[in-house]
């Protein structure tokens, strides 16, 4: 891991001391602080680290009990979280994650990343994140509904279209957003569409929100390729995960002339040299809520399924980690580099370990951090809020055009900032510095907040 600027070491030490055991949060903070050395050197207004210290402390953290009753009549208990990290630029905005691994450290890392990501979109949204250690896998629709209703019975008092606007993340898609919105509407007696994003198209959702994160990541990679006179045409790609982000990343790679030859879930990965059959993958994952092994079985001999080993051992030119944090480690990065990979772009949040990023850097593999590459999801959420506020609804073409432009603006902003700081082509530095300066300058303008 790169060392921190002398002035920033006490800031990081304080984060570790004040937030014991929250390793993912420490990792996310360290990654941003690593980029800020040249910024504190150049800008005396940040020099004592004071605004940076405030930025690392969430404005508000809510932890609550979520009791619910399963189909057998047994009372179950989960823990709910909402971390309202920073509202300098707009209402707190960020997803809800339902996964057994969720604890405060995960929610804080995601909320922290979200602050800078949301700034990069150029839209007026602050940063927040929430979720629960509830595992929706294997639960009936009725159980998921009862859980969501109980979760919202506490969450509703903390959110609102001008306050905090949650959306989906791992384990939270259209079904969960529907149950959450229904309960919010019931409790408040308000049809406040802008309180949640990722809604269904018949009740305030935006065209392209479902596709936005995956599409946006691939648009970003396309811009990275264009910047060096290259394109997707004929390139092979590997996409980890097979959820919302992965599926629409695969779709856009195929639309742009590339071929995705492998994808995964938490049980294994499938390799298909002729390209993943997206219609079947959508049917298995989105309609039947099945497993990747079901997809592989349905494909027969053309698909090779593996329950062991790493998907990153599959040779490819473009690698898109779209599953979860720290899923691509040092050995994976070394395998990708030695197999001739050109670009790694994060569809997921923090999927690449710091050691893996070092390996990619040393091997000159171009790397796009999630806070830039996967910002299309939250950007389109902000477009959904915009449509809700004006009681309008846009066509698919219009929403997609907006998304494509936003991703290009983020891409260019990262490169321009990297240039300004003498780090040409460094998307990590560009994204961190550009997001940070916008939020920090706003915090300074608003007084001691
Ligand atoms: P989904 O729940 O739709 O899909 C998640 C996928 O990742 C599944 O294939 C899942 O496999 C796999 N996965 C999840 N946890 C693990 C784990 N611990 N180990 C291995 N595989 C795992 O989530 P999304 O596609 O929405 O989210 C994927 C990533 O993208 C996350 O990092 C999320 O934070 C990020 N993201 C999402 C956005 C969105 O709009 N949805 C926006 C920006 C970023 P399995 O089914 O076996 O669990
Ligand atoms: O990580 C993310 O950016 C998301 N899960 C999407 C957040 C949102 O508010 O759409």
45 pLDDT more than 90? no
Ligand at minimal distance from the CA of 167 is 2
Per-residue pLDDT tens over the stretch 246-257: 999 999 999 999
Ligand 2 pocket test: pick from 83, 90, 94, 407 the residue with the most ligand atoms within 8 Å of its Cβ: 94
Per-residue pLDDT tens over the stretch 264-320: 999 999 999 999 999 999 999 999 999 999 999 999 999 999 999 999 999 999 999
Q: What distance in angstroms lies between residue 111's CA and the mean position of ligand 2's atoms?
A: 10
CA atoms of 214 and 374, how far apart (whole Å): 7
Beta carbons of 139 and 380 less than 8 angstroms apart: no
Question: Does 378 contact ligand 2 (Cβ within 6 A)?
Answer: yes
Q: What distance in angstroms lies between residue 95's CA and the mean position of ligand 2's atoms?
A: 4
Neighbours of 284 (CB within 10 A): 22
User: 3-class DSSP state for residue 213?
Assistant: helix
Per-residue pLDDT tens over the stretch 317-358: 999 999 999 999 999 999 999 999 999 999 999 999 999 999
* pLDDT score at 259: 98
Average of per-residue pLDDT across 198-207? 98
Q: In what order do the strands lie in the sheet with 259-265?
A: 304-306, 268-271, 259-265, 236-240, 318-321, 343-345, 366-368
pTM beyond 0.95, yes or no? yes
Beta carbons of 51 and 443 less than 8 angstroms apart: yes
Q: What distance in angstroms lies between residue 377's CA and the mean position of ligand 2's atoms?
A: 6
Ligand at minimal distance from the CA of 349 is 1
Per-residue pLDDT tens over the stretch 371-383: 999 999 999 999 9
Q: What distance in angstroms lies between residue 110's CA and the mean position of ligand 2's atoms?
A: 9
Q: In what order do the strands lie in the sheet with 75-86?
A: 60-69, 75-86, 126-132, 92-98, 164-167
Ligand at minimal distance from the CA of 117 is 2
* pLDDT score at 436: 98
Listed in sequence order, the residues at least 6 apart from 335 whose beta carbon sits closer than 8 Å to its beta carbon are 310, 312, 313
Place 48 in a pLDDT band, splitting at 50, 70 and 90. Answer: confident
Nearest residue (by CA) to ligand 2, atom 4, is 95
129 is catalytic: yes
* pLDDT score at 44: 81
Q: What is the mean pLDDT of the chain?
A: 97
């Amino acid at each position: 891991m790169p060392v921190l600027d002398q002035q920033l070491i006490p800031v990081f030490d304080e984060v570790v001391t004040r937030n014991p055991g929250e390793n993912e949060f420490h990792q996310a903070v360290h990654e941003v602080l690593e980029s800020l050395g040249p910024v504190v050197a150049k800008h005396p207004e940040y020099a004592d680290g004071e605004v940076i210290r405030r930025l690392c402390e969430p404005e508000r953290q809510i932890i609550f009990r979520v009791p619910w009753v399963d189909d057998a009549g047994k009372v179950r208990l989960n823990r709910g979280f909402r971390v309202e990290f920073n509202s300098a630029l707009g209402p707190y905005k960020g997803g809800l994650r339902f996964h057994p691994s969720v604890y405060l450290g995960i929610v804080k890392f995601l909320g922290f990343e979200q602050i800078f990501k949301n700034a990069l979109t150029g839209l007026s949204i602050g940063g927040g994140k929430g979720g629960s250690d509830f595992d929706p896998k294997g639960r009936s629709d009725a159980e998921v509904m009862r859980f969501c209703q109980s979760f919202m019975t506490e969450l509703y008092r903390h959110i609102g279209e001008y306050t905090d606007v949650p959306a989906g993340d791992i384990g939270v898609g259209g079904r969960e957003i529907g149950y959450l919105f229904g309960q919010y509407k019931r409790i408040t007696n308000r049809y406040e569409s802008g309180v949640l994003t990722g809604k269904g198209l018949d009740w305030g959702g935006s065209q392209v929100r479902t596709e936005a994160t995956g599409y946006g990541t691939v648009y970003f990679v396309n811009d990275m390729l264009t910047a060096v006179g290259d394109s997707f045409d004929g390139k092979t790609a590997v996409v980890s995960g097979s959820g919302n982000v992965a599926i629409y990343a695969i779709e856009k790679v195929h639309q742009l002339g590339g071929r995705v030859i492998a994808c995964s879930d938490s049980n294994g990965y499938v390799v298909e040299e002729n390209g993943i059959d997206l219609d079947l993958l959508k049917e298995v994952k989105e309609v039947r809520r099945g497993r990747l092994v079901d997809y592989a079985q349905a494909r027969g001999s053309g698909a090779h399924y593996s329950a062991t080993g790493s998907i990153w051992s599959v040779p490819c030119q473009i690698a898109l980690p779209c599953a979860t944090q720290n899923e691509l480690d040092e050995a994976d990065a070394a395998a990708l580099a030695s197999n001739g990979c050109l670009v790694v772009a994060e569809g997921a949040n923090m999927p690449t370990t710091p050691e893996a990023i070092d390996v990619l850097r040393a091997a000159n593999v171009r790397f796009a951090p999630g806070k830039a590459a996967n910002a299309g999801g939250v950007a389109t959420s902000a477009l959904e809020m915009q449509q809700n506020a004006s009681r309008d609804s846009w066509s698919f073409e219009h929403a997609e055009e907006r998304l494509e432009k936003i991703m290009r603006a983020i891409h260019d902003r990262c490169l321009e900032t990297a240039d300004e700081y003498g780090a040409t082509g460094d998307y990590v530095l560009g994204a961190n510095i550009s997001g940070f300066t916008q939020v920090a300058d706003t915090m300074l303008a608003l007084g001691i907040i």
